[in-house]
């Protein structure tokens, strides 16, 4: 099974800050990676797929990069509505799709 | 706009079978190259993929749950369903249904239901 490890597990930041979250796969997954945002009591929302493709309707301040085993989600200028938990997901290795443990973005 | 809605009992007794249904609206469950999936999330924890189904009936399950899970589809009702047998307290979680889109051999959850809390308790 492919394990997905996110870091940090939490980050404190202020509005306007640039925030970077990292996801590492236990083996190469090419560009088969997604990022999701989850707010309390809500379902996750797809932000980025195929490592760097922005889902329709998602603000351009969100961007993704990486391939192989190391991936990054960047929020270029943090907005109040961006405080949430973010998950990465490896998207190709069946029979098991796996998620990272999550990164909570908190208000500083 | 595709919408998904989970339904089913919120309380299940230990050793019994958890049964949930996901109703898809805003589009046919049979149209396009989509899979339909279940994911769960225990309180305060991360996301765990349970399994997926294609409208042909083809399924894949999380190996850790495979012996207890059945996912089925009813295209006439635009629904798909989850059954998880022999439940324990460890199965207590919010259960989500979701659409799985395929892009360049990758599988991504692009639409989600709101989630339903299932508690396993006597």
Q: Do A99 and B48 touch (CB under 8 A)?
A: yes
How many other CB atoms sit within 10 Å of the CB of residue A14?
9
Which DSSP state fits B116?
E
Name the residue in chain A with its Cα closest to that of B95. A43
Question: A99 at the B interface (CB within 8 A)?
Answer: yes
pLDDT per residue, tens digit, chain B (122 aa), is: 999 999 999 999 999 999 999 999 999 999 888 999 999 999 999 999 999 999 989 999 999 999 999 999 999 999 999 999 999 999 999 999 999 999 988 999 999 999 999 999 99
Angle, CA B100 vertex, CA B80 and CA B107 arms, to 5° = 145
pLDDT by residue (tens digit) across A37-84?
999 999 999 999 999 999 999 999 999 999 999 999 999 999 999 999
Tell whether B21 is within 8 A of chain A (Cβ): no
Closest listed residue to residue B96, CA positions, set B55, B56, B59, B46: B46
Do the beta carbons of residue A45 and residue A107 sit within 8 Å? no
Residue B88 in contact with partner chain A when CB distance is under 8 A: no
């Amino acid at each position: 099974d492919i394990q997905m490890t996110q870091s940090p597990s939490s980050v404190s930041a202020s509005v306007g800050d640039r925030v970077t979250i990292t996801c590492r796969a236990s083996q190469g997954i090419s560009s088969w990676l997604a990022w999701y945002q989850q707010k309390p009591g809500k379902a996750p929302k797809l932000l980025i797929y195929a490592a760097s493709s922005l889902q329709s309707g998602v603000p351009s301040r969100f961007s993704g990069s990486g391939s192989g085993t190391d991936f990054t989600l960047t929020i270029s200028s943090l907005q109040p509505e961006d405080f949430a938990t973010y998950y990465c997901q490896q998207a190709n290795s069946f029979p098991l799709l796996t998620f990272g443990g999550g990164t909570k973005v908190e208000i500083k | 706009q595709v919408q998904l809605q989970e339904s089913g009992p919120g309380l299940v007794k230990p050793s019994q079978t958890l049964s949930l249904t996901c109703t898809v609206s805003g589009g046919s469950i049979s149209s396009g190259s989509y899979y339909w999936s279940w994911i769960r999330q225990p309180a305060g924890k991360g996301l765990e993929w349970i399994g997926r189904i294609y409208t042909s009936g083809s399924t894949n399950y999380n190996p850790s749950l495979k012996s207890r899970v059945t996912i089925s589809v009813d295209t006439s009702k635009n629904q798909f369903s989850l059954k998880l047998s022999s439940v324990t307290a460890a199965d207590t979680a919010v259960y989500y249904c979701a659409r799985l889109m395929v892009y360049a051999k990758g599988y991504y959850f692009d639409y989600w239901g709101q989630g339903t809390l299932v508690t396993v308790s006597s």
